[in-house]
Chains A and B, each alone.
Chain A
Amino acid sequence: DVKVTQSSRYLVKRTGEKVFLECVQDMDHENMFWYRQDPGLGLRLIYFSYDVKMKEKGDIPEGYSVSREKKERFSLILESASTNQTSMYLCASSSRTGSGEKLFFGSGTQLSVL
C-alpha cells in the first residue's frame, strides 16, 4: 500500500525555534512536495524536489528551507519559527509520468507556533 509518513501529527513550538518536519515515502517516487494548508487559502506549495539533493522553490518559500539527502526522505525546515507559520503542513510525493502529477499525501502535521 502506498505510504507517505510524516513524523509528527501535532507539534507546538515557540517563536524563534528551529523546526524540522520530516517526511518519508516508500513508493520510490522521484518527486516530493511540501504544502501548507490554511482555511480559505487552500493548498500552497512551499518547496518541491524532483531528485535527490535537488530542490525548487514553490509559491511561498520565504522562511523555509528543505533538504533531500535520500530519495525517500524530504525535510522541511523552519529556520526561525514565527506565529504566521502556524498551519497544517502536508507532504506529498508523486512519480514522474507524462500525465500530470498524481499526488499521494501524508497525514499532515498541525504546527502551532506560540
Chain B
Amino acid sequence: QKEVEQNSGPLSVPEGAIASLNCTYSDRGSQSFFWYRQYSGKSPELIMFIYSNGDKEDGRFTAQLNKASQYVSLLIRDSQPSDSATYLCAVTPVSGGYQKVTFGTGTKLQVIP
C-alpha cells in the first residue's frame, strides 16, 4: 500500500464549479498535511496546510482533514482555468527535528472554460 494515495485523474470540472481533490494516507502518526500545486513544467508551490481535524479555509480553497478516516481533501470553489494544474498531497509526522515529507503522486485537475 502506498503511504499517500491520490487519484491521478485527470479530474475535469467546468469553470465556476467546485473541484474536490482527495488524498488518503497510511501512517496514523501523520500530523501535518499539505497541498502543493504544480503547473506543468513548473515546481510545486505550497497552497494549503492543515494540522487539526475539520476544515480550514483560505480564499477559494478549503482543506478538510479527518484523522480517524486518514483522509484529507482540498476543495476549490469557483474553479478557474488558471487552477488547472497537478495537486500534490503531502504528509509529515510531527516529532521534532527533521520530519520526513511523504508525497502522493498528484491529481491532475482540468478546469474547462
For A17-53 the 0/1 string (1 means CB < 8 A from B) is 0000000000000010100000011110100101000
Are A45 and B100 in contact (CB-based, < 8 A)? yes
Q: Chain B nearest CB: distance from A66 CB in Å?
A: 14
Residues of B within 8 A of A79 (CB): none
1/0 contact string of A73-112 vs chain B (CB within 8 Å): 0000000000000000010000010111111111110000
Q: A41-B105, A42-B106, A50-B97 are in contact. Are A99 and B46 (CB under 8 A)?
A: no
A-B contact count (CB 8 A): 61
A98-B104 Cα distance, complex, nearest whole Å: 22
CB of A69 within 8 A of chain B? no
Question: Looking at chain A's contact residues, is the secondary structure mostly helix, strand, loop, or mixed?
Answer: loop
Decide: A102 and B34 in contact? CB cutoff 8 A.
yes
- CB–CB A101/B99 < 8 A: yes
B104 touches A42 (CB 8 A): yes
User: Given the complex, which residues of B lie within 8 Å of A102, measured CB to CB?
Assistant: 34, 46, 49
Given contacts A43-B103, A102-B34, 12 further A-B contacts (CB under 8 A): A42-B104, A43-B44, A45-B100, A98-B96, A99-B49, A100-B32, A100-B33, A100-B92, A101-B92, A103-B34, A103-B90, A108-B42
Cβ contacts A to B, 21 pairs, < 8 Å: A33-B101, A40-B8, A42-B88, A42-B105, A43-B88, A48-B98, A56-B98, A90-B43, A99-B51, A99-B94, A100-B32, A100-B33, A100-B49, A100-B101, A101-B32, A101-B99, A102-B34, A103-B34, A103-B90, A103-B101, A107-B42
Interface residues of B (CB under 8 A from A): 8, 31-34, 36, 42-46, 49, 51, 88, 90, 92, 94, 96-101, 103-106
